[in-house]
């Protein structure tokens, strides 16, 4: 699983590692809002017709349209106020002649909508969908527009709407079908977590992200908090299955993690009876020899509400003396004590203490088959690679001043993934929300991906504050642009950064 790092280049505001496949990622431009840590640049989408990027700006509650025909000098061409359509935009997808924007409702249990626009930003129509549409995507032929309706509970957990997936048929007068989880049985969902207080299955399942099969017939839906993926037939809106993704064993050397933010060092090691919940955020699909594969960025997420929380630290729970004979030692803050775990798993014999510990996320990306079975996982690559290349900013929030402060939580925190083909090879581009940067793997062979490069366009020496942001901080959304659709003729990436409020434009070249 470990890949050799053949060459390392360190440059101002970037760190690049290049393997036997010589890929160079270069930051060629940026659109800056100047708004710090308010989500001014989150989800992005690209229109090859006009070479425009569509950016969800949560701070201004707008959809910003930025032209990148000259990538080094991106230009804001329109900013559309979203407040008249709902509480705000959560996601955007541009294709052919249209743009679809997911809009959440004003109340925690009110339905959201999808706003359809022309590529220039003129309103076409609005279609009602489920509660809290958090992500929107479109089938390759443009017929179906799907939203992941998360249906999150209220802060006091007194209201818990059902999570659903809405499917809009653009060729049938924008008619809407709803994929519901009301008929799903817990015993049929394997390791899927259903754990909210007094919640039904439909209330507890929270769709986060959707990736369609290349032919558009099947939707794979990440249920992040539930550590599962749903499989939905698009034409009928029927939920075919909900598949629990299982757990990652941190006792294995290849899965070792740094579990403490209080040890003052990089300490990647294995731990017995400690597991990671994959809990993917962004997912994508691709096809190899007729088989569809799902690629997941395993960020992790907890439910932490005003009146109910599943979060706890290892130091504050009682460990089973047989499973953890050295409990007092490992519960120290420089060992496992600071690690965040869920209290909903781990008491396997029901006696009130923890026989196993379950941390959020898997600090990796994973390839699954279409049945949700694990094909390949990157293990602890993300931590070992960043430890080698930017050790002074290891598991940080993007600077040396925050060194190691995310080790007790979700480490580098893989947020999202885009897939693209260059010169006949297929690549996964995974963004790391905390330490920052883009991990690139050649996934042409899903059984044996190869690490290609890591690029971080951020001056890690500079303390990140509102008055001092150098580079791009906290990537949230990513889109791949093929060479035949890019302004330069080379493949490109566009990334939205929610903390720095910037949209980064990258060019990819192969040597």
Domain ranges of the chain: 7-245+280-301+361-510
How many whole angstroms separate alpha carbon 267 and alpha carbon 277? 21
Instruction: Please give the structure tokens belonging to residue 440.
Output: 């690139």
- Consecutive sets of 10 residues in the chain, 511 residues long: mean pLDDT of each? 32 41 92 92 96 96 97 97 95 96 97 98 98 97 97 97 98 98 96 97 98 97 98 98 98 98 97 98 98 98 97 98 97 98 98 98 98 98 97 95 97 98 97 97 98 92 74 92 98 96 96 85
User: What's the whole-model pTM score?
Assistant: 0.95
Cα angle: 23, vertex 28, 32; to 5 degrees: 135
Cα angle: 172, vertex 93, 228; to 5 degrees: 90
- Strands of 314-373 (E only): list them: 340-342, 357-360, 365-369
Adjacency order of strands within the sheet including 123-131: 88-95, 98-104, 111-118, 123-131
pLDDT at 459: 82
Among 24, 30, 8, 19, smallest CA distance to 472 is for: 30
Among 505, 510, 509, smallest CA distance to 494 is for: 505
Class of domain 7-245+280-301+361-510: mainly beta
């Amino acid at each position: 699983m470990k890949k050799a790092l053949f060459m390392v280049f360190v440059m101002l505001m970037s760190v690049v590692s290049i393997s036997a496949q010589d890929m160079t990622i270069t930051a060629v431009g940026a659109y800056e809002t100047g708004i710090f840590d308010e989500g001014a640049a989150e989800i992005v989408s690209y229109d090859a017709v006009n070479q425009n990027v569509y950016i969800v700006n949560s701070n201004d509650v707008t959809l910003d349209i930025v032209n990148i025909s000259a990538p080094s000098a991106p230009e804001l061409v329109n900013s559309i106020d979203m407040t008249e359509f709902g509480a705000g935009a959560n996601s955007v997808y541009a294709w052919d002649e249209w743009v679809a924007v997911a809009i959440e409702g004003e109340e925690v249990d009110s339905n959201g909508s999808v706003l359809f626009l022309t590529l220039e930003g003129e309103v076409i129509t609005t279609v009602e969908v489920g509660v809290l549409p958090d992500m929107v995507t479109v089938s390759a032929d443009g017929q179906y527009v799907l939203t992941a309706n998360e249906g999150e509970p209220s802060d006091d957990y007194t209201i818990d709407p059902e999570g659903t997936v809405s499917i809009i048929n653009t060729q049938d007068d924008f008619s809407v079908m709803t994929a519901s989880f009301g008929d799903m049985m817990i015993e049929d969902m394997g390791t899927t977590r259903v754990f909210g207080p007094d919640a039904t299955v439909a209330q507890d399942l929270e769709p986060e992200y959707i990736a369609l099969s290349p032919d558009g017939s099947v939707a794979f839906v990440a249920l992040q908090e539930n550590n599962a993926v749903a499989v939905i037939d698009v034409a009928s809106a029927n939920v075919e299955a909900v598949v629990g993704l299982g757990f990652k064993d941190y006792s294995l050397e290849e899965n070792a993690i740094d579990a403490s933010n209080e040890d003052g060092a990089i300490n990647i090691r294995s731990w017995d009876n400690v597991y990671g919940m994959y809990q993917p955020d962004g997912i994508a699909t691709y096809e190899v020899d007729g088989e569809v594969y799902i690629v997941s960025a395993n960020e992790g997420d907890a439910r932490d509400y005003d009146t109910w929380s599943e979060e706890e630290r290892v130091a504050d729970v009682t460990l089973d003396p047989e499973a953890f004979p050295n409990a007092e030692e490992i519960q120290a803050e420089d060992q496992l004590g600071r690690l965040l775990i869920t209290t909903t798993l781990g008491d396997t014999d029901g006696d009130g203490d923890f026989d196993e510990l379950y941390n959020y996320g898997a600090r990796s990306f994973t390839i699954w088959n279409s049945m949700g079975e694990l094909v390949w996982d990157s293990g602890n690559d993300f931590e070992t690679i960043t430890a080698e290349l930017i050790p002074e900013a290891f598991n940080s929030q993007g600077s040396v001043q925050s060194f190691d402060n995310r080790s007790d939580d979700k480490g580098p925190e893989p947020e999202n993934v885009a897939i693209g083909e260059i010169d006949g090879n297929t690549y996964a581009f995974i963004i790391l929300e905390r330490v920052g940067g883009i991990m690139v793997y050649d996934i042409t062979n899903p059984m044996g991906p190869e690490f290609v490069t890591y690029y971080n366009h951020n001056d890690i020496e500079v303390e990140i504050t509102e008055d001092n942001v150098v580079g791009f901080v906290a990537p949230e959304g990513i889109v791949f642009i093929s060479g035949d659709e890019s302004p330069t003729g080379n493949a490109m990436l566009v990334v939205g950064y929610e903390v720095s409020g910037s949209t980064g434009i990258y060019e990819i070249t192969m040597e």
